[in-house]
Amino acid sequence: MHRTSSDTRHSRSELLRRAVLAGGALTAGGVVVGGLPRLASSAPSPAQDIRILNLALLLEYVEAAFYAEAREKGALRGELREFAEVVGGHEQEHLAFLKKTLGANARMAPKIDFGKATTDPDAFVEGALALEDTGVAAYNGQATNLTAGALTAAARIVSVEARHAAWIRSIVGKLPAADATDPSMTEAEALAALRKTGFLR
Amino acid sequence: MTERRDDLISKAPSVELDLTLGALDPAGAICEAYENVYRDSRAGFLRVAAVGGTALLGALAVVPSGGSQSANDVDILNYALTLEYLQASFYTEAERIRALRGKSRQAAEVVGAVERAHVQALRSALGSAAVARPTFNFRGVTEDQKRFLKTAVAFEDLAVAAYKAQAPRIDAKPILAVAISIHSVEARHAAWMRRLFGIVPAAEAFDDPLSRPEAARIVASTGFITSSGKTERAGSPRFTG
C-alpha cells in the first residue's frame, strides 16, 4: 500500500482545514444542508488506515462467514442460493485481501452466531440486506479518512458491496437504488449496525 | 426468472465494459431526430425534486465555486458532469420515447431522476466553471428495451469505474465524500441494470478503476456525443437546467 508523499499530505491537510472552515457556513443561502460528511479529526495516516481497514476486516469476516454458512447448510434455493454463492466468493476475496494487507496488524475473527439466518430465506434476506447496506455505508463513511493508497483499494471493494446490496434488494422487490447518494456511517454507527444484526457474540 | 439466471455466472465474464459499448451498432441504428425529442424534455430534465439523498449533494458546494475549489477539483467535477450529462440525457430520452415496459421502465425513471440530480448538483457546485451539456444522439438505443438495457449496463459500469479512478485524486474532503457516495450509487445502478439485462449484477470481487483517457476513448467510440460541451463562459449552452 503506497503512501501519499509528504507534500501531498501537507496540501491535503491544508485543504481539509479550509474545507472545515468553509463548513462553518453550511447554512449559506438559507438552505440547511443535512447529511454532510463528517470529517476526520485527524488527517489520514498509515496508523489511521490500519484502524479503518480493521473495521472493514470485521465487516468482511461477518459477511464471508454468513454466506459460507448459508452455502454449507444448503437451505437456500433459486436466485437466493446463487446470490449467496457469488457474493460469498467475493467476500472471501475481500477478507483475504484485507488480511494480507494488514498482516500482523489484522484483528482476530469475531465470534459469530447466525441463528436461523443462514437457513430461513426471510431471515437470510434480512441479514444480507443489513450486512450489505452497512458495508457500503461504512466504507463510504471512511473515504475521507483514508490515505490515497488505502482509498484506492477500498474503492475497489465498496462498489462491489453496493452491487451486492442492489442485487439482494432487487431479488426481494425493493428498489435497488432510490436515492442520489448513499448514506455514510461513522465507525461507531457501523459497529452499532453490525451489532444490531445480532450476529456478533 | 430462475431459468434465466441458471447460466448467469458463466455468461458474466463475456460482458466486459469495452465489449459492451464496442458491440453497440450505431451504423445499424435508427438515427432518431433527437433534437425534436429532446426539445420537449427540458421539464423532465428538471424533475429531480422527488429524489431522496440529495442533501449530501449540497456538500459539493461547500467549497465555494470560483474561490477555493482547486483547479484539479474543478477539472474532475467537470469530467464527472460530462458523464452525468451522458447518463441523464440517455434516461430522459428513454423516458420520453416510452419504449420501455415494466421493471425496465421503472428503473429508467428512478435512475434517470437520480442522474439528473447529480447533474444539477455538479452544475451548482461548479457555477460558471461548469461545462455545457454536449449534444447527444443515442442512435436508437433508447427505442428498444434490450438495447436500452445493454447501453445502460455499459454506462453504469463505466461511471463506477470512472468515479473510482478519480476519487483518490480529489483534493477537497467534502467533494471526495460526495463523489464516493455517488460512486456507490452508480454501482447500485449498474447491478440493477445488469440484473434486468439478465447478467450477474456483481461479476467480480473487485471493481477496477478506468482512467480518463480510456473512458474518453470508450465514450467516443459510441458516437453518442455529437458535439462537445464548452464552458459556459466560452459559449452559451443549448440546453441548460
The three grid cell numbers given for residue A37, joined into one nine-digit string:
460528511
A78/B201 touch (CB, cutoff 8 Å), yes or no? no
Q: Is B141 on the interface with A (CB under 8 A)?
A: no
Using the predicted structure, report yes or no on whether residue B15 has a pLDDT greater than 90: no
Give strand pairing partners of A179: B52
Cα nearest neighbour of B70 on chain A? A15
Torsion of Cα atoms, B213 then B29 then B225 then B125, to 10°: -100
> How far is residue A59's CA from residue B1's CA, in Å, rounded to a whole number?
31
Using the predicted structure, report yes or no on whether residue B210 has a pLDDT greater than 70: yes
Q: Is A96 on the interface with B (CB under 8 A)?
A: no
pLDDT per position as a tens digit, B160-209: 999 999 999 999 998 999 999 999 999 999 999 999 999 999 999 999 99
**Among candidate residues A34, A184, A122, the one with its CA nearest the CA of residue B54:** A34
State how many domains chain B has: 1
**Among candidate residues B23, B27, B196, the one with its CA nearest the CA of residue B100:** B196
Indicate yes or no: pTM above 0.90.
Answer: no
Using the predicted structure, report yes or no on whether residue B241 has a pLDDT greater than 80: no
pLDDT per position as a tens digit, A117-173: 999 999 999 999 999 999 999 999 999 999 999 999 999 999 999 999 999 999 999
Does any domain span residue B142?
yes
Does any domain span residue B1?
no
pLDDT per position as a tens digit, B63-116: 554 456 899 999 999 999 999 999 999 999 999 999 999 999 999 999 999 999
Three-class secondary structure of residue B132 per DSSP: coil
Does any domain span residue B98?
yes
CATH number at residue B185: 1.20.1260.10
- Residues B126 and B81: beta-carbon distance below 8 Å: yes
A163/B70 touch (CB, cutoff 8 Å), yes or no? no
Does any domain span residue B68?
yes
* ipTM of this complex prediction, to 2 decimal places: 0.82
Does any domain span residue B102?
yes
Percent of chain B scoring above 90 in pLDDT: 62
Half-sphere exposure of residue A177, counting CA atoms within 13 Å on the CB side? 36
Q: Is A42 on the interface with B (CB under 8 A)?
A: no
Residue A27: CB atoms within 10 Å: 9
Give strand pairing partners of B227: B135
Q: How far is CA B137 from CA B1, B110, B168, in A?
A: 33, 22, 32
Does any domain span residue B20?
no
A180/B54 touch (CB, cutoff 8 Å), yes or no? yes
More confident residue, B73 or B58: B73
The three grid cell numbers given for residue A75, joined into one nine-digit string:
437451505
> How far is residue A185's CA from residue B207's CA, in Å, rounded to a whole number?
22
Does any domain span residue B174?
yes
pLDDT for res B105: 96
pLDDT per position as a tens digit, A36-88: 445 544 689 999 999 999 999 999 999 999 999 999 999 999 999 999 999 99
Residue B206 with chain A: CB contacts under 8 Å: 93-94, 97, 156-157, 160
Using the predicted structure, report yes or no on whether residue B35 has a pLDDT greater than 70: no
Does any domain span residue B188?
yes
- The domain of B179 spans 42-226
Residue at A20: amino acid letter:
V
Q: Is B59 on the interface with A (CB under 8 A)?
A: yes
Contacts of B5 (CB under 8 A, 6+ apart): A78, A79, A82, B198
A179/B53 touch (CB, cutoff 8 Å), yes or no? yes
Q: Is A192 on the interface with B (CB under 8 A)?
A: no
